[in-house]
Structures are given as structure tokens and as C-alpha cells.
């Protein structure tokens, strides 16, 4: 599922080498944080994550 999401985003951005290095990722339904980590692995500058439980993983620069 994550791969499909990022493949669609990359297709819209017309980039084959990953997401733009100036991009930031905001995940409002972080859970385990795996989608934010996927965004980082694809080249985003930073990933901010939040969970509805009130506790959130720290920002990953």
C-alpha cells in the first residue's frame, strides 16, 4: 500500500528518482510511523508525525 501511494505521488511530481529533497511529509495518522519512514527513504527533507492518542513520535529530521 505504501509503495502505491508514493508511486502515485512521484508520478504527479514527475520525478523518478524519489520525492523532491525540499519536500516535507506530514502524517496525521502515524501509528507506527512507517509511512513517514517510507517518505524519508524516498528523499523528503523531514517527516512530522502525529497520533490521535496524544502521544506522538518525535520529528525525524
pLDDT tens for each residue of the chain, 61 residues long: 788 888 888 888 776 667 777 889 998 887 888 888 988 888 889 999 887 765 656 666 6
Alpha-carbon span 20 to 33, nearest angstrom: 20
Q: What is the pLDDT of residue 15?
A: 63
Q: What is the pLDDT of residue 54?
A: 56
Contact 15, 24 (CB under 8 A): no
Q: What is the pLDDT of residue 10?
A: 82
Q: What is the DSSP letter of 21?
A: T
Let me know how many helices (H) and strands (E) the chain has, helices first.
2, 2
pTM over 0.85: no
Residue 14, Ramachandran bin (φ over 0: left; ψ between -120 and 50: alpha; else beta): left
Q: What is the pLDDT of residue 55?
A: 60
Amino acid at each position: 500500500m505504501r509503495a502505491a501511494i508514493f508511486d502515485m505521488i512521484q508520478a504527479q511530481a514527475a520525478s523518478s528518482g524519489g520525492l523532491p529533497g525540499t519536500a516535507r511529509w506530514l502524517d496525521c495518522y502515524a501509528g507506527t510511523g512507517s509511512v513517514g519512514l517510507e517518505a524519508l527513504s524516498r528523499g523528503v527533507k523531514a517527516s512530522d508525525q502525529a497520533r490521535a492518542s496524544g502521544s506522538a513520535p518525535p520529528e525525524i529530521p
